[in-house]
Amino acid sequence: MPDYDVVGVGLNATDTVLIVPHFPAYAGKVPFEDEHMSPGGQVASALVACSRLGLRAKYIGSVGDDLRGQIQLESLQGTGINLDHVMVRKGCANQSAYIIIDRSTGERTVLWRRDDCLKILPEEITDEMISNARLLHIDGHDTPAVARAAEIARRHGIPVTVDVDTIYHGFDKVLPNVDYLVASSEFPTAWTGETDPFKALSAIQEEYGMRVAAMTLGAHGALARENGRFHYAPAFVVNCVDTTGAGDVFHGAFCYAVLQGMAMSETLEFSNAMAALNCTALGARGGIRGLDDVHALIARAERRSHPDFSSRAARAARQD
């Protein structure tokens, strides 16, 4: 039996969150109401969600040896996540972000920085780090390193999920070894040049032969293509405090659902629910909840459906 349910390779960040009553106009000025430091990052936060759901998780990444790096490490300790392959870079600042949250909407604006000294190199990723997992989760930032991790996973028959929100040079070396692409709404159209998101997902899936090509749609839910069929799941209506980290938590829930063998429609709904709950508290991981809370939200909450995505997915299903 593998030692871990999910191993993640990718980013972490330590955020400074500033809450403002409303986002200022360009070149404007507005007082902020509150400030606090919050650990986050794509893969690190996804693994915290996995661990909260009961999965055995391991994180592979790099942190700086500054205060922000220390805060990040301390945030992961005690979560149950294995940190044996977290690399501390001497004399290097951890990835950081300043996140401005509009209290009136919960939406956030992110200013971020990651120094080159944090780069994960492909030679730092070994077979032994990856081969003892049931699933590998990656992002796209240190592309040669995550390509190496995905290649190892493919060799060992381990499924790969990827969270990608922008085009990275060399990412075409990653996609052939991806089983589950869950991208931002912008990535599929930018990658393919197809302005229609349905056609863009189809093009990516057919070119690379992945099991699922999906995109998150923020306040409108998520769309996925599996076995030539589209699945759309509307978002949940909650009292949104902060959208930071919602996508990362979605990915953690998605990893859990894949390992549980959920049907794709159920997978998207479950992941939407986890993401929505995270939006009800401040910080990238502020609202990560367990299974009972997720199932309670699914049972009671109102959904917000995007009429175009909903009708087109339903029409495509009828034509199958």
According to DSSP, the residues that pair with 136 across neighbouring strands are: 7, 160
How many residues appear in the chain? Answer: 320
β-strands 4-9, 96-102: how paired?
unpaired
Check: CB of residue 243 under 8 Å from CB of residue 282: no
pTM reported for the whole predicted model? 0.95
- Which sequence spans correspond to the domains of the chain? 4-25+32-319
β-strands 212-216, 222-226: how paired?
antiparallel
What tokens appear for 264 in the block? 């794709």
Alpha helices in the chain (DSSP H): 42-52, 67-76, 127-130, 143-155, 187-192, 197-208, 246-260, 264-278, 291-300, 307-319
Q: Quickly count: other Cβ atoms within 10 Å of residue 319's Cβ.
A: 7
> What pLDDT does residue 313 have?
86
- ∠ Cα 265 266 269 (to 5°): 90
Question: Rounded to whole angstroms, how far apart are CA atoms 294 and 146?
Answer: 30
Question: Rounded to whole angstroms, how far apart are CA atoms 145 and 125?
Answer: 7
What secondary structure does DSSP assign to 10-71, as a single string?
S--EEEEEEEESSPPPTT-----SEEEEEEE-HHHHHHHHHHHTT--EEEEEEEESSHHHHH
> What pLDDT does residue 305 have?
87
Question: Rounded to whole angstroms, how far apart are CA atoms 269 and 65?
Answer: 39
Give, to the nearest 10 degrees, the angle between helix 246-260 and helix 42-52: 50
> What pLDDT does residue 94 have?
98
> What pLDDT does residue 164 have?
97
- ∠ Cα 27 29 33 (to 5°): 140
Question: Rounded to whole angstroms, how far apart are CA atoms 210 and 208?
Answer: 6
User: What is the three-class DSSP state of 217?
Assistant: coil
> What pLDDT does residue 317 have?
64
Check: CB of residue 231 under 8 Å from CB of residue 141: no
CATH code for the domain defined by 4-25+32-319: 3.40.1190.20
- ∠ Cα 111 113 114 (to 5°): 150
Question: Rounded to whole angstroms, how far apart are CA atoms 108 and 271?
Answer: 20
Tell me 218's DSSP state.
G
pLDDT tens, residue order, the chain (320 aa): 899 999 999 999 999 999 999 999 999 999 999 998 999 999 999 999 999 999 999 999 999 999 999 999 999 998 999 999 999 999 999 999 999 999 998 888 999 999 999 999 999 999 999 999 999 999 999 999 999 999 999 999 999 999 999 999 999 999 999 999 999 999 999 999 999 999 999 999 999 999 999 999 999 999 999 998 999 999 999 999 999 999 999 999 999 999 999 999 999 999 999 999 999 999 999 999 999 999 999 999 899 888 888 888 887 766 55
Sheet of strand 34-40, all strands in order from the earlier edge strand to the far edge = 34-40, 13-20, 96-102, 108-113
By the 10 Å C-beta count (0-12 exposed, 13-18 middle, 19+ buried), 218 is classed as middle
Measured between alpha carbons, how far is residue 64 from residues 21, 175, 189, 313 in Å? Answer: 32, 29, 34, 44
